[in-house]
């Protein structure tokens, strides 16, 4: 099945709160996508809509050209793992929960699930609700990976996991993505730790999509321009400035957009220092309150 995902002016409102505001994007599928955003930016709302857990208040979302909500043909191809939430409320033992997951997904791989259970050292005879936070997250990860669904989404699945377990998750995810390519979407704010895994990145801020691009393009897109304040102002004129710092006559401006050789030469001639901006810094500046609502999707 095609995993071409299309969101068109997708909105979600709870009473008078707008969780997601006319978000539009296209994911061609078969890649690892990073969904970044601060707490309350709309990540979980967006994933809930993609998984068909909720009905959009406005706009549409389709997978393979077909609407998701209340469409069993589509939702059977999707798997959303939400933090630790689902394991805790079930009241089932770990092995029962895995059997239930197997029953739901025709693409389930039981042998692979057992390997993952061993990897994360999950006690299969224990009640899932009594597991530690980290083990519940790990259980969710096992369900997501072993489901082998064409679209698999992990919503902050690292919560409660210690660093060694998080790296086990990243390694397993990458190995799985290479052995059985499919669409995987990870929401996170541990950017530095996982961003190398992403092929594309979407950044949500205050319910809006402020950016969607190739991860590699983003790494080339942020620069810090530092030097004499007047010269910096002249240089960044007309560019998208994400933030500024000033100390005396020296100013540093964070700009978004790749700088070509011509611009670099101009900076050098003006005595300005150009430094790269890490993805994490780019994320922080793009989602700063001062920048809210002036976002644009390329």
Please, what is the minimum distance in Å from the beta carbon of residue 257 to another protein?
Answer: 15
Please, what is the minimum distance in Å from the beta carbon of residue 216 to another protein?
Answer: 4
- Please, which residue, 100 or 167, has the CB nearer to another protein? 167
- Please, which residue, 105 or 189, has the CB nearer to another protein? 189
- Please, which residue, 18 or 287, has the CB nearer to another protein? 287
List contacts with another protein (CB under 8 A).
31-32, 167, 170-171, 174-175, 177-178, 191-192, 195-199, 215-217, 219-220, 276-280
- Please, which residue, 88 or 270, has the CB nearer to another protein? 270
Q: How far apart are CA 1 and CA 6, in angstroms?
A: 15
Please, what is the minimum distance in Å from the beta carbon of residue 258 to another protein?
Answer: 10
Please, what is the minimum distance in Å from the beta carbon of residue 55 to another protein?
Answer: 33
Please, what is the minimum distance in Å from the beta carbon of residue 265 to another protein?
Answer: 12
- Please, which residue, 86 or 193, has the CB nearer to another protein? 193
């Amino acid at each position: 099945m095609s995993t071409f995902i299309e969101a068109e002016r997708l909105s979600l409102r709870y009473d008078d709160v707008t969780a997601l505001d006319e978000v539009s994007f296209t994911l061609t599928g078969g890649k690892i996508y990073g969904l970044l955003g601060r707490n309350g930016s709309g990540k979980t709302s967006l994933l809930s809509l993609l998984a068909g857990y909720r009905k959009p208040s406005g706009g549409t979302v389709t997978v393979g050209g077909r609407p998701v909500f209340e469409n069993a043909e589509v939702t059977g191809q999707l798997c959303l793992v939400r933090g630790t939430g689902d394991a805790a409320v079930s009241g089932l033992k770990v092995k029962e929960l895995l059997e239930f997951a197997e029953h739901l997904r025709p693409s389930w791989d039981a042998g692979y699930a057992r390997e993952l259970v061993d990897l994360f050292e999950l006690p299969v005879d224990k009640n899932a609700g009594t597991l530690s936070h980290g083990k519940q997250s790990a259980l969710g990860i096992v369900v997501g990976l072993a489901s082998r669904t064409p679209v698999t989404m992990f919503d902050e699945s690292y919560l409660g996991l210690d660093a060694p377990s998080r790296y086990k998750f990243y390694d397993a995810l990458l190995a799985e993505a290479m052995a059985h390519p499919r669409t995987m979407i990870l929401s996170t704010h541990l950017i530095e730790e996982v961003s190398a895994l992403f092929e594309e990145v979407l950044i949500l801020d205050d319910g809006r999509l402020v950016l969607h691009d190739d991860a590699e393009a983003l790494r080339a897109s942020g620069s810090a321009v530092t030097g004499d304040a007047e010269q910096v102002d002249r240089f960044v004129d007309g560019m998208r400035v994400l933030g500024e710092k000033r100390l005396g006559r020296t100013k540093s401006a964070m700009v978004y957009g790749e700088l070509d050789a011509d611009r670099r030469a101009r900076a050098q001639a003006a005595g300005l220092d150009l430094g790269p901006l890490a993805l994490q810094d780019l994320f922080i500046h793009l989602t700063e309150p001062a920048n809210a609502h002036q976002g644009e999707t390329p």
